[in-house]
């Protein structure tokens, strides 16, 4: 069986790659280790990562197909405008489309599995649709259902209105009339694309419920957790943690909730004066104001000696920071279906303090493998952090239980079996 995996970014090739792109690559590795041919299609690499020459057509290096897009041939200012249009509604890139169509004609895959496609656009979907190749779509966030991609409103409250004209209230306060014109038609065009998928893959039961609310039939939804390689997380000892140390791992943006954690840290310091927080992850260029906001929280809260900015680091370094921390904090402010860091913390025998939101409660058992907090309550988060830092035996015990729970929740054997049944069923249905 031959399967095409399509994703904007891939780890090792793009600085903007994140958890969804890691999940795409890891799923492909798991599948290809079982005599299934997986081919990846992604954007041209960042200059800092690799050089593949002038992108005049798709190019293949190490089994990965690099697909050119229009933005690569435009001045930066025009390219940014086109990126915005793609985000809202213009989900067709003719250059990418003909590259996909040409490849699928020459080397027809049995299945096309779509992952994240903001900038490659739905061109792969259209090309595969023309050739009647069965397709499935992995849902890592809610961009296909919400222009803000978080299913929250402008007050950061959960929203189930999905995308429509009303979304302009949640988006940047610029060119409002233009936003409204695009939003009127967004759902129509996106639903046309969604209708082409045979199956939708989600990471948690919570996410499956949201897709059903949107109107996707239950029999088209498959719940398949993130495919961790749990053996790579084996530790000889749990005694590596630095006392009173926390770690935050994620993008530096509002929806990830770092500001909530910093406000809680001010309160934690009152009872645990030596507390230290390591912050790992990249800045988000379009949220510079947020980065300035959290820097100000650190200054005003007297946290300059308590917070260590690490920035983006390779995955092996991430693991070392997890192992050096007593607690991993995941303060999500949106309904993230399954943050990668939750599983990584569990496999590394570290308790997670996570938001009682989205798919996190599907994996963090409150009081056993970690603690859950009200995402809107700084006091609740501060209390939970203080509890584990002052009760180290409890934190260690939770970490051990979490590691065992992770092996069951993210079993490679079970996940592989689900993927194989998914693909085989799609191929037989045609």
Among 344, 294, 292, smallest CA distance to 322 is for 344
Residues 353, 373 contacting (CB under 8 angstroms): yes
Q: Are residues 352 and 370 in the same domain?
A: yes
Q: Are residues 218 and 257 in the same domain?
A: no
Q: Are residues 151 and 207 in the same domain?
A: yes
What per-residue confidence (pLDDT) applies to 176?
62
Residue range 78-99, pLDDT digits in tens: 888 888 788 777 789 999 999 9
Asked if pLDDT for residue 412 goes beyond 70, the answer is: yes
Segment (H or E) for 64? strand 64-67
- Number of domains the chain contains: 2
Q: Are residues 75 and 89 in the same domain?
A: yes
Residues 103, 65 contacting (CB under 8 angstroms): yes
Domain encompassing residue 385: 231-409
Q: Are residues 218 and 253 in the same domain?
A: no
The whole-model pTM stands at 0.86
Q: Are residues 79 and 212 in the same domain?
A: yes
Q: Are residues 394 and 418 in the same domain?
A: no
Q: Are residues 359 and 389 in the same domain?
A: yes
Residue range 21-66, pLDDT digits in tens: 988 999 999 998 888 999 999 999 887 554 444 443 456 556 799 9
Residue 103 sits in a domain of what CATH number? Answer: 3.40.50.2000
Residue range 297-334, pLDDT digits in tens: 999 999 999 999 999 888 788 888 999 999 999 999 98
Angle at 401 between CA 398 and CA 407, to 5 degrees: 140
Q: Are residues 178 and 96 in the same domain?
A: yes
Residues 6+ apart with CB under 8 A from 131: 101, 104, 105, 108
As a whole number of Å, the CA-based R_g of the chain is 22
HSE of 37 in the Cβ direction (CA atoms, 13 Å)?
9
For residues 209 and 207, what is the distance between their CA atoms, to the nearest angstrom? Answer: 5
Q: Are residues 324 and 392 in the same domain?
A: yes
Q: Are residues 96 and 242 in the same domain?
A: no
Residue range 354-405, pLDDT digits in tens: 999 989 999 999 999 999 999 989 999 999 999 999 999 999 999 999 999 9
Q: Are residues 174 and 48 in the same domain?
A: yes
């Amino acid at each position: 069986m031959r399967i095409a995996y399509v994703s904007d970014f891939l780890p090792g090739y793009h600085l903007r790659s994140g958890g969804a792109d890691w999940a795409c690559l890891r799923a492909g590795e798991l599948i290809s280790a079982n005599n299934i041919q997986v081919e990846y299609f992604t954007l041209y690499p960042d200059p800092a990562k690799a050089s593949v020459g002038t992108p005049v057509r798709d190019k293949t290096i190490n089994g990965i197909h690099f697909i050119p897009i229009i933005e690569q041939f435009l001045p930066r200012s025009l390219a940014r405008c086109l990126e915005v249009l793609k985000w809202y509604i213009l989900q067709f890139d003719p250059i990418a489309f003909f590259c996909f169509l040409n490849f699928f004609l020459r080397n027809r895959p049995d299945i096309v599995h779509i992952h994240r496609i903001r900038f490659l656009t739905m061109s792969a979907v259209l090309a595969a649709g023309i050739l009647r190749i069965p397709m499935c779509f992995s849902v890592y966030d809610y961009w296909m259902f919400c222009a803000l991609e978080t299913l929250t409103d402008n007050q950061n409250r959960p929203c189930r209105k999905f995308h429509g004209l009303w979304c302009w209230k949640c988006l940047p306060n610029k060119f409002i009339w233009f936003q409204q014109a695009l939003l009127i038609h967004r759902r129509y065009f996106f639903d046309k694309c969604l209708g082409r998928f045979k199956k939708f893959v989600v990471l948690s039961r919570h996410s499956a419920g949201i897709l059903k609310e949107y109107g996707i039939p239950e029999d088209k939804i498959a719940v398949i957790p993130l495919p961790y390689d749990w053996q790579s997380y084996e530790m000889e000892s749990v005694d590596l943690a630095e006392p009173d140390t926390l770690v935050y791992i994620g993008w530096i943006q509002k929806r990830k909730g770092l500001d909530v954690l910093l406000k809680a840290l001010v309160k934690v310091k009152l009872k645990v004066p030596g507390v230290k927080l390591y912050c790992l992850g990249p800045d988000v260029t379009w949220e510079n104001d947020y980065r300035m906001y959290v820097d100000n929280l650190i200054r005003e809260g007297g946290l300059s000696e308590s917070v260590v900015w690490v920035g983006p680091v390779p995955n092996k370094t991430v693991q070392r920071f997890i192992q050096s921390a007593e607690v991993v904090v995941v303060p999500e402010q949106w309904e993230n279906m399954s943050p990668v860091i939750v599983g990584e913390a569990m496999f590394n025998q570290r308790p997670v303090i996570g938001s009682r939101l989205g798919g996190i409660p599907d994996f963090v058992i409150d009081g056993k493998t970690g603690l859950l907090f009200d995402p809107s309550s700084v006091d609740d988060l501060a209390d939970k952090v203080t509890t584990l830092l002052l009760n180290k035996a409890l934190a260690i015990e939770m970490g051990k239980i979490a590691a065992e729970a992770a092996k069951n929740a993210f079993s490679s054997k079970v996940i592989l079996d689900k993927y194989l049944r998914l693909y085989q069923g799609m191929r037989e249905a045609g």
